[in-house]
Chain A
Amino acid sequence: MSVSSSSPLLIDAPLVEWILVSFLREEVASAGLARAVLGLSGGIDSAVACALAARAFGPDNVLALCLPYRSSDPASERDARAVAGALGVRYEVVEITAQIDAYFATQPAADSLRRGNKMARERMTILYDRSAEFRGLVVGTSNKTELLLGYGTLFGDMASAINPLGDLYKTQIFQLARHLDLPAAVIGKPPSADLWQGQTDEAEMGFTYEAVDRLLWGLVEQRLSDAELAAAGHDAALVARVRRMIVRSQFKRRMPIIAKLTDRTINQDFRYPRDWGA
């Protein structure tokens, strides 16, 4: 996946690396810690997050957990292991099959969406549990494209203490992955949530990351109108669909809303920085 040499999505990768490594180091230090935990899926996002964490904290201070279910593609674990090996971080495989199957034995009617969400949340609870043992923060791996489209599980893969990737579009993650010299197998394969055999993000969503990132750039970064997006060559049906996806997933990008009763409701008129006292 590549973007043209004149694309506004082209990033200064060494500069981005510098900012994100410094972000990880300082924000983890704000919590009084110097270690990180993350889920390593075998995909490109978590590989990039892992590489940044390894640079920020040193490989020995990064715990990468691969958390497969029995239907996960074996190639995913192989790729995750290759990434962890290349970076020298601590690596463990923790199967989630037993607890997922035990739960769904009581929910035989559950569809693949429910099952996928449950798996994502199961992985989240393991990352948070192990982060307490490891004394590290959970590093998020959601990119800006999926955050805007709502292509993620709330309190599942979207959950983290800090997220270095949330302001990078998917095609920019690929650029950063190449700059960070990640294994070719991880960069070359089609992005997938790996919930069932042969699933790919682009087939499931019905558009390419290249097309949707260009559209999101115009829509979000440049605040273009539908007419301006059409004039720039974007398909009107895709524009309408992406706008709907952004609006309908807004709840996933905010903390739960609190019913207001007092003069100092948390986050409304009780406003302190996250790095309060750090």
Chain B
Amino acid sequence: MEAPVTVSLAQCDAVLGDVGRNLETHLQLIAQARGQGAGLVVFPELSLTGYMLRDLTSEVGLRRDDPRLARLAEASREVDVVAGWIDESPEHGLFNAAGYFHAGRLLHVHHKVYLVNYGMFEERRYWAAGDQVAAFEAPFGRTGLLVCEDVWHPSTSYLLFADRADVIIVCSCSPARGVQAGSDGQAGLGSTQAWDQALRQQSSAFNVYSIYVNRCGVEDGTTFSGNSRVIDPAGHTLAALGLAPELRTLTLDPAPLRRRRAAVPLLRDERLDVTLGNLERIARERFVL
């Protein structure tokens, strides 16, 4: 990690299918974040479009030259921005995308690889799946982007770790589920507890900062659970938001990352050759290539 970064978690609602109104919300929150000294503002998954799009997907897909993306890029001259939208490829594929805007341009785009298609979800019906997981150089250090369900496949976090990411940013639209009271009197959402565990596992297993920004608000009866959080490279929670909309700003420092990598040198010791060789063997045995 090259430098400290002051990051604002923009835990916000969205208007379903209304890119124009959501863009205005983004610009307002970006201005507020600047006021709080942020160098980076992170928005949730599909922050420009809302989540439950279904057939609206094709109506809100944005080409890379769309003037609305240009306005977001323009705002990134002052502060870096991570936002989510439906990215329409030249072949008219419609991807669930998260993008990193810096200094007036789109620096990196991640297409959600693992489209969730079970239980209440039907993403694969509407969206094209990404096939790349890559870290990139953000101004403060090497960074990776993931979208929601990607994190439930630890292979994506592993690839970013192998690609030397110091920070993994996760944009999410996680629905609130599981309202059982805990046996010890402690309670909270089942879905939030699961996310907390997954993110702490990601950070401690791969020695990275995890920045998780989740939606709030309600779409078609589903309440998004907020509870955005930041986990340090040892798996400790640095910030945990509640269910309501909030803009929370905090600074991530390189020193704890460096200390953790010295104490637990997992990246230094990681055997890519062993992983690769065995994955090839497993693929040969499982699939006719």
In angstroms, Cα B54 to Cα A19, docked, is 23
Given A23-B221, A27-B221, A277-B16, residue A11 in contact with residue B52 (CB < 8 A):
no
| B235 contacts chain A at the CB level, 8 A cutoff | no
Interface size class of A (residues with CB under 8 A): 20 to 34
The segment from B96-104, B179-187, B249-257, B278-286 found at the interface with A is: B179-187
Note all chain A residues with C-beta closer than 8 A to B176.
19
Beta-carbon contacts under 8 Å, A1-47 to B: 6, 8, 10-16, 18-19, 22-23, 26-27
Task: Indicate the member of B17, B55, B56, B179 with the most A CB atoms within 10 Å.
Answer: B179
The segment from A81-89, A107-115, A253-261, A268-276 found at the interface with B is: A268-276
By the criterion CB–CB under 8 Å, are A270 and B55 in contact? yes
| A278 contacts chain B at the CB level, 8 A cutoff | yes
Note all chain B residues with C-beta closer than 8 A to A277.
16-18
Nearest B residue to A172, CB-CB = B179
In angstroms, Cα B189 to Cα A14, docked, is 11
By the criterion CB–CB under 8 Å, are A27 and B180 in contact? no
By the criterion CB–CB under 8 Å, are A275 and B179 in contact? no
Beta-carbon contacts under 8 Å, A237-278 to B: 270-278
Note all chain B residues with C-beta closer than 8 A to A275.
16, 52, 219-220
Consensus secondary structure, chain B interface: loop
Write the nearest CB–CB distance from B83 to chain A, whole angstroms.
Answer: 21
In angstroms, Cα B275 to Cα A136, docked, is 60
By the criterion CB–CB under 8 Å, are A19 and B56 in contact? no
By the criterion CB–CB under 8 Å, are A273 and B54 in contact? yes
Write the nearest CB–CB distance from B228 to chain A, whole angstroms.
Answer: 17
Nearest B residue to A277, CB-CB = B17
Note all chain B residues with C-beta closer than 8 A to A15.
179, 187-189
| B5 contacts chain A at the CB level, 8 A cutoff | no
Nearest A residue to B187, CB-CB = A12
The 9 tightest CB contacts between A and B, nearest first, are A12-B187, A26-B218, A273-B52, A10-B181, A271-B54, A12-B181, A271-B55, A274-B220, A273-B220
Q: B residues within 8 Å of A by Cβ? A: 15-18, 52-56, 176, 179-183, 187-189, 217-221, 223, 243
Provide a sorted-by-A list of 20 A–B residue pairs whose CB atoms are within 8 angstroms. Answer: A10-B180, A11-B180, A12-B180, A12-B188, A15-B179, A19-B176, A19-B179, A19-B223, A19-B243, A23-B218, A26-B217, A162-B221, A271-B54, A273-B52, A273-B56, A273-B220, A275-B52, A275-B219, A275-B220, A277-B17
